[in-house]
Structure 1
Amino acid sequence: MFAAVVSAVGVMMAPFTSNDAFLPAGSAFESPGLVLAGSLLLAFALPVATVLLAGSGSAVARGGLLGLGVSAAVLGLPNLVSGLSLPGVRLAAGPILVLVGAAGLVAAAFLPTATTPDAAQDDEAGEITLPGIRRLRIVTGALAVLTSAAAIAGALTPQVVITETLDGPQSPSRSALLVAGLLVGVLGLVMFTAGPSAYARPALSVAWVTVPLAGTAVLTMAVTATELGAGLTPGPGVLWTALAVVGSAITACCSVVAGMVERDETTDPATAFGEGPAVPGADLLTPLVAAGILAIGAFGTPSILAPDYVEPALWSSFGTPSWGLLVALLTVLGACVLAPRCRPARAAALLAGAACVAGLRAAELPLVGDEITGAHAGLGWWLALGCALALVIAAVLAARGSIHTPKTRSGSIR
């Protein structure tokens, strides 16, 4: 798993460094749309596929890991050769990380593994099974902690530099990114525990989006500085923030896979807690509908207004932060739709994570407002506050349902 993450990080980094103005060399985030899409796809596929292969039969796992390693090597090797042989081009760390991770994946494919008779039969039948819940939760927690570290580094390091010793103007959204990183990190640490991880996993499946929500707002400063030129260049914070955004998406994918496995387990603590019919009543549906309606306005309209400041939103001034708002809106709406279909304990955790997302949107005013002259609450702030309150009410109602629901062995909804 570590080798896959190393390769994924290297994929998103610059392939080489160049002093030639006609041969620009930037990270994947500075590349054309198709290159960025392909890099993101491979960066997501490497760790997620590794997790899935970990629970497969030995033959399937060997072939899959070998294929992932070869794919990473095919991408990293040409960039390594270019950095070593072409004039005006120097070697960068990106392809080195890709090849180190690729070597680790290939080595893992040939490591001897102990197989049981049942596993051997599964290999012969060609059946693929998902890894156990405990392993998936640990992997998800590790990815969340790494994402948290990258987000904190992105918030504390300069996004724009003028010279090597002089920093340029920094994004006022750094504090929001720091809070998002801490939130994801705490949930990631809880995933290492045996019992509470069952309830932290649904919350993490939603709370991960706080990193793109704040990260895209931070990255817009570097994007604007690059477009303006004037001696401003992206600083190290750009790379850390970008890695945090990618890491949060990978964490979400692993968390979803863990949820798929949880639904097939009957001994899971979150399944046993509140076992039985989990169809919510009108008391839960009402705040969910209200939260969904308020979320559309909360993420679609500006939350901060100021005389000389125009905040990007979905319905006006669409910019780089708008993509984070869009992903956050879709995630919150998805949680509102899925919560009635979940067991009460999981629904409560899911809605708690959604409340954290809406809460971060509302917290942008106190976190960011001090750095914006004349900042005051906009319509989006009031709607975000109402959305967070509605989600908290829904989470409390769902938690009460998990306590009062009678336990049965049949007819339950997972």
Structure 2
Amino acid sequence: MRSRLPVGALTPVAIGGVAIGAVLIAAGPRYPVAVTLDGAGAGTPVGPAFGVWPLIAVLSVVPAVVAVMLLLVRQRGPALALIASLGVVAIGQVLLNVQLLLDPIRAARAELVAPLGLGQLRPELGAWLLLAGQLLTVIAGLAAAREAGALRGERSMDEPAIGPRTPPGAMVAGVGCAVLAGFGVLTAPYASSDPWLVPRSVLDSPAWSSAGGFALAVGIALAVVLACSAPDPRVAVGGLVGASIGVLGVVVPKLAVAALADPLRITIGPVLATLGGLGLALLAAWVGHRGRRDLVFGSAAGLDRLAGPPASVLAVRCRLAGAALAVLTGGATIAAALTDPLRLAADLPHPELPTRWLLVAAGAVLVPLGVATAPRRMGPAVRPALAVALVVVPTVAGEPLGELLGVLGLDGVDGGPGLWLLLLAVALAGASALALVLAGGFERDEIDLVPTPYEGPVAAASAAAAVLAVPAFWLPLVDGAGWAPTGVLQPPFGLASWGLLAGFAVTAGALLIAPRCRPGQAVALFGGVVVVLVLRLGRLAVAAGQLPPDGLGEGAWATGLCLLLVLVAAPIALRARPKLVLSSVAESGAEREREEVRP
């Protein structure tokens, strides 16, 4: 059912919403965001750790000014794309501001509130202004997205068949920057020596802050993907600029207050997010330059460049990028295990990670897999195995990261090179997995399979293994105390549990997808699952002398049975012979050729 609103009706809503929202966000920190509670009902305003209100005001007003300027020069498409990207990013900000209203202390917003003691705090006018400003930005983004879609539909009939297009490589670069920014916003915003100001990562935050952090990371990625998928490079530039400003508006105040306030210190998270935001700005400049150059020089000699490289070329590029990142991931993991994770005062004991050799094993597996993924002949066959095996990095690193981050910030305790290398390894693993998944998508554009029914011995064994993956990761490996969580359901729920959840999701997904793949791809997926399960059981081997008298837990037995089923399914899948067909694009071209030669 078509909307009755004419094209252009929601543009004032988008512009007015983002402008009023920017004013409210800029004005919020000028009023008390929280006050202390006392018996008389009045309260004392609690200020930020350091006054960065001018920076917050500038970052909130700049996108509205840019959008208005674009409209004044009759660039409505880029202006709407900018506002839409801001609205998507603002959804996470709304949830974070809800936590600021519910409990200002646990919100960990040092740029807005820095508590001075254990007394309870009450939200004040500034917090409500911030929430209202972010809500208006979300509404403006929804209006802009609807208006941009209607505007694109109106112009589709008048667009020339050949003209400037958004470069295909922008998607890969944009998603890489979005991953970097998303990882940055999920980590702790700063380190603190103030006992009343406790920084929290998204995984250790209250419910609303955790949901807001995840929504913020997903919103950044969604804004970048939508911007890079726009065929018009001007619209893509607007969306990328909006995503860049949205990221910088979130992380730059945190970075500034951590650098300027005495009890706070800068951590790697906001730095990575800032680099991701700046990378999006550079990508927008490159896309705009390419679009303008193609508009001027894109005659017959430039048509191939405007069309972009074929899917096979993009598949090779993504595969090589994923292989290189996987080798770097393995190297960073090994280096993290062999270097000091913390810098301690002279009177403190030196810690030793129980999973150090498990990290070395994970890195030792990823380096040769990454090298094997690069060659032209072997690479496409090894790529699925590497894409699955990369999940061992967060699975293995979750336990030591939880322990290290739990003591970081105490007196005499600071992050060492091992900790930062481990965080870098997790980020590189995510970027490598994303590049390899994109490579697989481009490969499927060239060749596809006839739909096969989900039946037969391979499907049965794979489905049974997927079912066993639930207790394999959710139940503990050992019965008894003295160990960190070795199962998702084993308390306390922390970084180790999140790493196990990632391992479970990738393992179960690979087992369910494998029966529908070509034989080589299915065997590679099973091989990656074997790597994950073997390293899962390796947690028992690295501390065999610490096994409790109660013996192995249900998770260990389920992991062993799951591994056995995967080893049975792999040789059966290798003997399958699916029928290969051309992709839909190639098939339609072949059909047209048959019609042309038909008498």
TM range (shorter): 0.7 to 0.9
Partner residue in 2 for 1:245 = 426
Partner residue in 2 for 1:255 = 436
Q: How many residues align?
A: 395
CA distance in 1, matches of 2:582, 2:568: 29
CA distance in 2, matches of 1:42, 1:182: 34
CA distance in 2, matches of 1:222, 1:63: 41
1:217 counterpart (399, 413, 434): 399
Q: Which moved more, 1:337-346 or 1:321-330?
A: 321-330
**Against the structure 1 CA distance between its residues 310 and 4, is the aligned structure 2 distance closer, same or farther, given a 3 Å change threshold?**
closer
Partner residue in 2 for 1:288 = 462
Is the contact between residue 160 and residue 225 of structure 1 (CA under 8 Å) also seen in structure 2?
A: no
1:358 counterpart (533, 540, 544): 533
**Against the structure 1 CA distance between its residues 392 and 232, is the aligned structure 2 distance closer, same or farther, given a 3 Å change threshold?**
same
**Against the structure 1 CA distance between its residues 27 and 327, is the aligned structure 2 distance closer, same or farther, given a 3 Å change threshold?**
closer
Residue 51 of structure 1 deviates from its aligned partner by: 8.3
CA distance in 2, matches of 1:148, 1:41: 29
Partner residue in 2 for 1:62 = 237
CA distance in 2, matches of 1:225, 1:375: 30
CA distance in 2, matches of 1:178, 1:34: 36
Determine which structure has more spread, i.e. the larger CA radius of gyration.
Answer: 2
Residue 341 of structure 1 deviates from its aligned partner by: 1.9
% identical equivalent positions: 31
Is the contact between residue 137 and residue 258 of structure 1 (CA under 8 Å) also seen in structure 2?
A: yes
Q: 2:439 is matched by which residue type in structure 1?
A: A
Partner residue in 2 for 1:397 = 572
Residue 350 of structure 1 deviates from its aligned partner by: 1.3
**Against the structure 1 CA distance between its residues 144 and 4, is the aligned structure 2 distance closer, same or farther, given a 3 Å change threshold?**
farther
Secondary structure of 1:75's counterpart equals helix
Is the contact between residue 288 and residue 394 of structure 1 (CA under 8 Å) also seen in structure 2?
A: yes
- Residues 220-239 of structure 1 correspond to what in structure 2 (within 5 A)? 220-222=402-404, 225=407, 236-239=417-420
1:348 counterpart (523, 534, 538): 523
**Against the structure 1 CA distance between its residues 52 and 254, is the aligned structure 2 distance closer, same or farther, given a 3 Å change threshold?**
farther
Is the contact between residue 312 and residue 443 of structure 2 (CA under 8 Å) also seen in structure 1?
A: no
**Against the structure 1 CA distance between its residues 196 and 14, is the aligned structure 2 distance closer, same or farther, given a 3 Å change threshold?**
same
Q: Tell me whether 1:331 sits opposite 2:506 in the alignment.
A: yes
Q: Tell me whether 1:117 sits opposite 2:303 in the alignment.
A: yes
Is the contact between residue 328 and residue 357 of structure 1 (CA under 8 Å) also seen in structure 2?
A: yes
**Against the structure 1 CA distance between its residues 313 and 88, is the aligned structure 2 distance closer, same or farther, given a 3 Å change threshold?**
closer
**Against the structure 1 CA distance between its residues 265 and 45, is the aligned structure 2 distance closer, same or farther, given a 3 Å change threshold?**
farther
- Residues 8-23 of structure 1 correspond to what in structure 2 (within 5 A)? 10-11=184-185, 15-16=189-190, 18-23=192-197
Q: 2:471 is matched by which residue type in structure 1?
A: G
Residue 133 of structure 1 deviates from its aligned partner by: 1.1
Is the contact between residue 12 and residue 28 of structure 1 (CA under 8 Å) also seen in structure 2?
A: yes
What root-mean-square deviation, in Å, do the aligned CA atoms of Structure 1 and Structure 2 show? 4.2
2:487 counterpart (313, 333, 337): 313
Residue 145 of structure 1 deviates from its aligned partner by: 3.5
Q: Which moved more, 1:111-120 or 1:384-393?
A: 111-120
**Against the structure 1 CA distance between its residues 326 and 101, is the aligned structure 2 distance closer, same or farther, given a 3 Å change threshold?**
closer
Is the contact between residue 8 and residue 98 of structure 1 (CA under 8 Å) also seen in structure 2?
A: yes
Is the contact between residue 56 and residue 131 of structure 1 (CA under 8 Å) also seen in structure 2?
A: no
CA distance in 1, matches of 2:484, 2:180: 38
| Residues 38-70 of structure 1, C-alpha deviations (whole Å, 9 max, x = no match) | 555656776897789778744454344433432
* Long gaps (5+) in structure 1: 123-128
CA distance in 1, matches of 2:547, 2:351: 13
| Residues 256-298 of structure 1, C-alpha deviations (whole Å, 9 max, x = no match) | 33333222113xxxx6xxx767557522133223323432332
CA distance in 2, matches of 1:104, 1:325: 31
**Against the structure 1 CA distance between its residues 198 and 63, is the aligned structure 2 distance closer, same or farther, given a 3 Å change threshold?**
farther
Q: 1:362 is matched by which residue type in structure 2?
A: L
| Residues 109-154 of structure 1, C-alpha deviations (whole Å, 9 max, x = no match) | 22333644366589xxxxxx99821222233334433433443344
Q: Tell me whether 1:138 sits opposite 2:320 in the alignment.
A: yes
CA distance in 1, matches of 2:279, 2:579: 49
CA distance in 2, matches of 1:140, 1:35: 32
2:355 counterpart (162, 165, 173): 173
Q: Which moved more, 1:67-76 or 1:12-21?
A: 12-21
CA distance in 2, matches of 1:171, 1:247: 22
Q: 2:532 is matched by which residue type in structure 1?
A: V
**Against the structure 1 CA distance between its residues 188 and 317, is the aligned structure 2 distance closer, same or farther, given a 3 Å change threshold?**
same
Secondary structure of 2:326's counterpart equals helix
Secondary structure of 1:302's counterpart equals coil
* Long gaps (5+) in structure 2: 1-172, 295-301, 585-599
Q: Tell me whether 1:381 sits opposite 2:553 in the alignment.
A: no
Partner residue in 2 for 1:198 = 380
Partner residue in 2 for 1:79 = 254
CA distance in 2, matches of 1:49, 1:7: 12
Is the contact between residue 287 and residue 394 of structure 1 (CA under 8 Å) also seen in structure 2?
A: yes
CA distance in 2, matches of 1:164, 1:75: 37
Higher relative contact order (CA 8 A, sep 6+): 1
Secondary structure of 1:304's counterpart equals coil
Instruction: Using structure 1 for the length normalisation, give the TM-score.
Output: 0.75
Is the contact between residue 488 and residue 500 of structure 2 (CA under 8 Å) also seen in structure 1?
A: yes
Partner residue in 2 for 1:126 = none
Is the contact between residue 225 and residue 234 of structure 1 (CA under 8 Å) also seen in structure 2?
A: no
Residue 391 of structure 1 deviates from its aligned partner by: 0.7
**Against the structure 1 CA distance between its residues 56 and 165, is the aligned structure 2 distance closer, same or farther, given a 3 Å change threshold?**
farther
CA distance in 2, matches of 1:63, 1:33: 33
Q: Tell me whether 1:103 sits opposite 2:278 in the alignment.
A: yes
CA distance in 1, matches of 2:347, 2:182: 30
Instruction: Using structure 2 for the length normalisation, give the TM-score.
Output: 0.55
Secondary structure of 2:445's counterpart equals coil
CA distance in 1, matches of 2:509, 2:467: 12
Residue 365 of structure 1 deviates from its aligned partner by: 1.8
CA distance in 2, matches of 1:407, 1:108: 38
Residue 231 of structure 1 deviates from its aligned partner by: 7.0
CA distance in 2, matches of 1:326, 1:5: 19
